[in-house]
Amino acid sequence: MSAVAPVDREHGLYLLGQMVLVRRFEEKCVELYSASKIRGFMHLSIGEEAVAVGTMQALEPDDAIVATYREHGHALVRGVSAGAIMAEMYGKVEGCSRGRGGSMHLFDAATHFYGGNAIVGGGLPLAVGLALADKLTGRERVTACFFGDGAVAEGEFHECMNLAALWNLPVLFCCENNLYAMGTAIERYESETDLALKAASYEMTAWSVDGMDVLAVEQAAHKAATEVRGGGRPCFLELRTYRFRAHSMYDPDLYRTKEEIERFKQHDPIPALIEQLRAAALLTDEDIERLERDAAERIEAAIEFAEAGTLEPVEDLERFVYYEPAHAEGPTE
Amino acid sequence: MSVTPTNTITYREAMREAIREALLADERVFLMGEDVGAYGGCFGVSKGLLEEFGPDRIRDTPLSESAFVGAGIGAAMGGMHPIVEVMTVNFCLLALDQIMNNAATITHMSGGQFAIPVVIRMTTGAGRQVAAQHSHSLEGWLAHIPGLKLLAPATLADARGMLGPALEDPNPVLIFEHGSLYNLEGELPVDGGAVEIEHAAIRRPGTDVTLVAYGGTLPTAMTAADELAAAGIDAEVIDLRVLRPLDDAAVIASVSRTHRAVIVDEAWRSGSLAAEVSARIMEQAFYELDAPVARVCSAEVPMPYPRHLEQAALPQPGTVVAEVHRMMGAVDDG
């Protein structure tokens, strides 16, 4: 059980509502994928909701986010509209990346959401660069960089840990350790499986947190973000989590046992928070029903938005290879 | 007749002046790369800049090409206009993920939301006996990639004038500086500044054959043209300048006048820029040709160390001259 102090009712319900939204959104994505509405590679964060929901609480509206290809939840919690995310997966012009990116490449300049990067480790240098720009211009913001445990085996991880620490850059490295690099278990690809220890070797404050406990994640993220913001130094947070579903829609999930998955489902972050809130008498059955209803309504509205969206004319195929200032700036404010 | 005041300047100094001017003109500009600061640049380009601008704007990096090239891309997305120096094109392979998967794609992949005004400079080319890991011309590989712009300054004016507009461009621009050009010396107008970065240039007008060159092969083509002139053949020399997007119109217009083309490219022939230019001439000016397009490229070996073998591997003026004679002879015989 979490040692974290209980939250007030309103915030507890908010966190629960966000996790329920992400869970139901992802479940709906499975249906839509099966119905061929969504295609390509799609990676779900079912089981990992506490990571995105908890960490985002520590970020300010001006902070920057670099995420991975498993980023629907991060985008939703950050405030990218569910409709724009769904339309993106439908490949529609109304999508947050104009339909050009798909599930793995959600971008949103308005919320400083710098993508959905689908090269493992490829987002880390971008985060370092965004933080460098902030440092050079005197902007006091945090760049939160999400990546999986698999990225720790990439050279880019080590290059970026070193560079961020060496240059005192305000990056919050959020390592989502779900124990598998696609289908390879961490003990089968890492000589040292204590990932925070690796980060600490770069002279960086680093610690691990139970990524299935949203309150613990939130508290750790606040602590880390405060340190990054105040000290202008990078921090590393290992979020120990687990995905309940396969790596992607293509994955037959043959590399782990059903027993192992069931064991981790006992730590499902949503029932865990419900239990905590109930124990503190902060939650009623009606609350849960309402949160479920709100999530369902938002998701239905998102699907309607995506269904009603338009496909980019083929004549526009070669647009955006180079930057179009007039398009990006949009209507003047 | 008014005389424009000029300075004697080297290609290296022209590059340095361009960087210096960019740093003075725009606070968003900074330079980073391996040994650009305390060492003064591996090829001496940034000598003195650390002292003038300080370590925030002249940033020595660890030997982490992927991290610092990617950081340049990220900083550009964050509103800066970074100049990233990679020691040689061979080393840029360590950063290819960032160049290809981020710099070249994010504008498109985000539906046009993000500009990436980063400039990545690197040395390219052979001729200094530095063997098979420091000598290659891999511009053609990078020219394959949509979303990038590639420049190859081959003259003092371009060394001085291309960087400014490249930094103003909202897209990632790669600048290839041929190592053999750094000591090139000549006169430049004192107020010499920005040049356009969209078109090829005619470096020597002629009527009998078009020699297409860029970067380090421009001097080769110019020397060949001089030798050909002595033999009564009037060669036109086109300097591509911009390797992506290619200025087809300039090449096609020249070939339409001369009806013959030899492409001089220091890269390997297979899958090269020379192959691309050749294909475009075939596609767009086939019926203008009096002879098949010819190519003078490097021998298809990793660059050897001994001078005689290196020189044998590289395009030489004599090879270009011989190719033109063969081409003209073939027509005469026909």
Q: Which residues does chain B have within 8 Å of residue A167's beta carbon, measured at their own beta carbons?
A: 59
- Residue type, position A213, single letter: D
Chain A residues whose CB is inside 8 A of the B149 CB are: 322
Q: Which of A114, A125, A322 sits opposite B71 (nearest CB)?
A: A125
Q: What is the CATH number of domain A9-309?
A: 3.40.50.970
Please list, in sequence order, all residues whose beta carbon lies within 8 angstroms of the beta carbon of residue A144, skipping any fewer than 6 positions away: A55, A59, A63, A64, A65, A66, A127, A171, A172, A174, A225
Level-2 CATH architecture, domain B6-189: 3-Layer(aba) Sandwich (3.40)
In this prediction, residue B333 has a pLDDT band, given cuts at 50, 70 and 90, of very low
User: Residue B52 — very low, low, confident or very high, per pLDDT cuts 50/70/90?
Assistant: very high
Rounded to whole angstroms, the Cα distance separating A227 from B119 reads 33
Q: Do B78 and A132 touch (CB under 8 A)?
A: yes
Q: By the CB < 8 Å criterion, does A119 face chain B?
A: yes
Q: How confident is the model at residue B4 (pLDDT cuts 50, 70, 90)?
A: confident
Q: Looking at chain B from residue 85 to 114, which residues have their Cβ under 8 Å from any Cβ of chain A?
A: 97-98, 101-102, 106-114
CA distance B174 to chain A (A): 14
Query: Which of these is catalytic: B65, B139, B177, B276?
Result: B65
Of B78, B113, B171, nearest to A133 by CB-CB distance is B78
Q: The pTM is what? A: 0.96
In this predicted structure, what is the pLDDT of residue B1? 54
Inter-chain touch A98–B73, beta carbons under 8 Å: no
Task: Name which of B62, B101, B114 is nearest A162 (Cβ-Cβ).
Answer: B62
For A128, the closest of B71, B108, B149 (CB atoms) is: B71
Contact A117, A160 (CB under 8 A): no
Testing the interface with A: which of B26, B61, B83, B113 to mutate, by most A Cβ within 10 A?
Answer: B113
Partner residue opposite B109 with nearest CB, options A105, A129, A156: A105
Cβ contacts of B72 on chain A, cutoff 8 Å: 129
Does residue A115 sit at the B interface (CB-CB below 8 Å)? Answer: yes
* Non-local CB neighbours of B98 within 8 Å, separated by 6+ positions: A122, A125, B66, B69, B70, B73
User: Of B169, B148, B145, B165, whose CA–CA distance to B157 is shortest?
Assistant: B165
B259 is catalytic: no
Which residue of chain A comes nearest to B67, CA vs CA? A125
8-state DSSP, A8 = P
Q: What is the DSSP string of A166-222?
A: HTT--EEEEEEE-SEETTEEHHHH-S---HHHHHHTTS-EEEEEETT-HHHHHHHHH
Q: Does B146 touch chain A (CB under 8 A)?
A: yes
Share of chain B residues as helix, strand and coil, in percent rounded to the nearest 5? 40, 20, 35
CB pair distance less than 8 Å for B116 and A323 = yes
Q: Check whether B254 has a pLDDT greater than 70.
A: yes
Are A127 and B97 in contact (CB < 8 Å)?
no
Tell me, what's the pLDDT at A1?
Answer: 41
Test the B interface: residue of A322, A324, A327, A329 with most B CBs within 10 Å: A322
Kindly report the nearest CA distance between residue A123 and chain B, in angstroms.
Answer: 8
Q: Which overall architecture, per CATH, does domain B201-333 show?
A: 3-Layer(aba) Sandwich (3.40)
Q: Which residues pair with A205 in a beta bridge?
A: A235
Determine contact: A95 vs chain B, CB below 8 A: yes
DSSP track, A74-129: HHHHHT--HHHHHHHHTT-TTSTTTTSS-TT---BGGGTEEEEE-STTTHHHHHHH
pLDDT in tens, chain A (333 residues): 444 556 899 999 999 999 999 999 999 999 999 999 999 999 999 999 999 999 999 999 999 999 999 999 999 999 999 999 999 999 999 999 999 999 999 999 999 999 999 999 999 999 999 999 999 999 999 999 999 999 999 999 999 999 999 999 999 999 999 999 999 999 999 999 999 999 999 999 999 999 999 999 999 999 999 999 988 899 999 999 999 999 998 899 999 999 999 999 999 999 999 999 999 999 999 999 999 999 999 999 999 999 999 999 999 999 999 999 987 665 543
- Interface test mutation site (partner B, options A124, A321, A324, max chain B beta carbons within 10 A): A321
**Residue B134 a catalytic site member:** yes
In the prediction, which pLDDT does B5 show? 85
Chain A / chain B CB contacts < 8 angstroms: 158
